[in-house]
Amino acid sequence: MVKITVENLRKVHQAPDGAPLEVIRDLSFELEAGTFTSILGPSGCGKSTLLNLMAGLDDETGGRVLIGGKPIRENRDLNIGFVFQEPRLLNWRTVRKNILLPLEREKLDRAQMEERARSKIELTGLAGYENYYPLQLSGGMQQRVSIARALVTDPEILLMDEPFSSLDEITARKMRAELLRIWQETGKTVVFVTHDIAESVFLSQLILIVTQKPCTIANRVEVNVPYPRHYGDDRLFAIEKHALREFLKMDGMS
């Protein structure tokens, strides 16, 4: 497991009119290995851009991302799993073959690939659905496939970009509980992006509240409530109220 360090990160895009658009400004934080952290901020503030930079999918304008003390671009052996807001499954491939997809680039024999896929199918509660196609599954089940696909390469870090935002609240609650079970069983370092205050409090050990563009850290909220957690817990509700107050301060509403 590896520590994540973000140092003075800055990202500037080009706006449609050609002017510079500063998305992230001087953003810094450290995350210990094996922890569950949420990046909480309003829609469109740059949270997804931050995840892309942490995954090495985009280049920073300034600052750097260190994984295990190494710049991400120099850490060629690093294995990062990414779960997107939409499942992004291939509809012509079965559940099993979607999960196998990342392994097809690795030098593994077929038996090893199948065993990895089988273990992640079991871990994510997909046993019995191996030969279904994505369009035969509910949204929640499709996201289980997406999570299994992200885990099948055994990544050190799991980055998740609002993976439950399109689900109804009942399904989302089930998926949050499943995600916590998976995290506790695997010990991965999880960075979870959301704009849902209650979701971030229920899931996380640490919440980093970020501002509107240019995105930077506004506050840190520690959730010192032991697992397993339960909806309706007054301790969680108190932390939700505190996080909400911090949001209102950012918007000048309190």
Record the pTM. 0.94
Question: CATH number, domain at 1?
Answer: 3.40.50.300
* Residue 215 belongs to a domain: yes
d(CA 217, CA 77): 29
* Residue 100 belongs to a domain: no
pLDDT given at position 253:
53
* Residue 112 belongs to a domain: no
> What's the longest Cα–Cα distance across the chain?
59
* Residue 197 belongs to a domain: yes
Domain count, the chain: 1
* Residue 210 belongs to a domain: yes
Residue whose C-alpha is closest to residue 126's, from 142, 106, 115: 142
* Residue 71 belongs to a domain: yes
Whose tokens are 């779960």? That residue is 83
* Residue 47 belongs to a domain: yes
Which residues in the chain belong to E strands, given as ranges? 4-14, 20-31, 36-40, 62-67, 70-71, 80-83, 157-161, 189-194, 206-210, 217-222
Task: For residue 234, give the 3-state DSSP assignment.
Answer: helix
Residue ranges in the chain assigned as alpha helix (H)? 47-55, 95-100, 110-123, 139-151, 169-186, 197-203, 234-250
* Residue 45 belongs to a domain: yes
pLDDT given at position 149:
97
pLDDT given at position 66:
94
Structural domain boundaries enclosing 56: 1-78+189-254
**CA gyration radius, the chain:** 19
pLDDT along the chain (254 residues), means of 10: 90 89 96 96 91 93 92 84 94 97 87 95 96 96 96 95 93 94 95 96 97 93 96 96 86 58
pLDDT given at position 252:
59
